[in-house]
Amino acid sequence: MGPVELLHMSVFSQSFSPCGRFLAAGNNYGEIAVFSLSAALSPDATAQSQKPVLTFSAHEGPVFSLLSNDCHLLSAGSGEVSCWSWAELIKKNTKPLWTKRPNYKSSLEIPEINSMTFNSRDNSLVLAGGDNNVHILDLERGLFKSVLQGHSDYVHCVSVRGREGEILSGGEDGAVRMWDSRTGQCVHCIEVHKYESCARPQFGKWISCVTTDSDWMLCGGGPSLSLWHLRSLSPTSIFPLIGCQRQTSFYQDMILAVGDGPAVSHCLLGGEVKAQIPCSPQSLNTLQLNTNSTDYRVLTVGGSSDHIDVFTNLSYRTFSFSF
């Protein structure tokens, strides 16, 4: 990987291993790199420990989404989903367990898969597809169960409300749709850009991040990042962040958001921005918290750079992994 390629690298996705000691990151060249957190956080870490322990090529196009469950790593790129075993990866064996692709209507274009999430109720994988549909893959039988149609433009992100078994999807058309996973019907549709408090016409109406906490939902993108109460389907707080947010997450009583701008924003539920912690990439695409391990409970962010910043203390950047 020459210096020019490194300059143009973007990290789109991250996922922690089930034991919490490794981090997998996918970039725009279709590669996945595995970093060892335990080595990098140990007292005798060296500069070498900030390099990946394993790098391999996973897909033809960019790796937009990575997801881990108890023993597998799932990666999605342009049109296909691959599954890898963490145990094998740690042993540096990079053969995928399986690769599947959803049924696309047209065979001319290969729409990308932007995001994935698990629906633990019926052990299925929900895929946000570039063909304006949400695909559901049954992990037990390995077949694509259903297709949720309704969006008029490609779907950016999906999230699952664990208790109710609802799927939320946000798309380029500016709509956040809520689907019932059993029937496959669209239960609600919120057009965020139609609400004046959230709308930011200068950026557009697209929704690039949706995350939910069962009762609450955070969504943002073109419109401002906003916290919604799902029962009443109304926005409760608007966060005055400049730029479009690409990933958000609930953390204790705070909200973490990353997007345009070289900073991680910490916001309070009331709508105020508590802090903006600077980081090295100029704009950020992905934010992950390592909840699988208490020893290595770090926050990692990646974006338009070959560096992935690691925060042991949420308020300052500790060090960076690099591809």
Binding site for another protein (CB under 8 A): 19, 21, 36, 38-39, 41-45, 53, 86-87, 90-92, 274-275, 277-278, 294-298, 312-313, 315-319
Report, in Å, the least distance between residue 244 CB and another protein: 23
Answer yes or no: are the C-beta atoms of 244 and 221 closer than 8 Å: yes
Q: Would you give the distance in Å from CA 321 to the centre of its chain?
A: 18
User: Following DSSP, what letter does each residue of 1-16 receive, concatenated?
Assistant: --HHHHHT--EEEEEE
- Smallest distance from the beta carbon of 36 to another protein, in angstroms? 5
Give the nearer residue to another protein in terms of CB position, either 51 or 145: 51
Q: Are strands 72-76 and 273-278 parallel, antiparallel or unpaired?
A: unpaired
> Considering the complex, what minimum distance in angstroms separates the CB of residue 295 from another protein?
6
**Strand partners of residue 310:** 300, 319
> CB–CB of 173/156 below 8 Å?
no
96 alpha-carbon distance from chain centroid: 21
Q: Are 204 and 191 in contact (CB under 8 A)?
A: no
Q: Which is nearer to another protein, 21 or 151 (CB)?
A: 21
HSE-CB of 323 using CA atoms within 13 angstroms? 32
- By beta-carbon proximity to another protein, the closer residue of 215 and 295 is 295
3-class SS at 96? coil
Q: Which is nearer to another protein, 97 or 189 (CB)?
A: 97
Amino acid symbol at 163 = R
User: Which CB atom, from 110 or from 268, has the smaller least distance to another protein?
Assistant: 268
* 132-to-30, 172, 296 alpha-carbon distances in Å: 22, 9, 38
Q: In this complex, which beta carbon is closest to another protein, that of residue 143 or of residue 275?
A: 275
The amino acid sitting at 312 is T
The single residue listed with the structure tokens 């508590």 is 274
Q: How far is the CB of 242 from another protein (least distance, A)?
A: 18
Torsion of CA 100, 291, 92, 78, to 10 degrees: 30
CB of 321 to another protein, least distance (A): 14
In eight-state DSSP terms, residue 36 is E
Q: How far is the CB of 37 from another protein (least distance, A)?
A: 8
39 vs 110, beta carbon nearer another protein: 39
Q: How far is the CB of 29 from another protein (least distance, A)?
A: 23
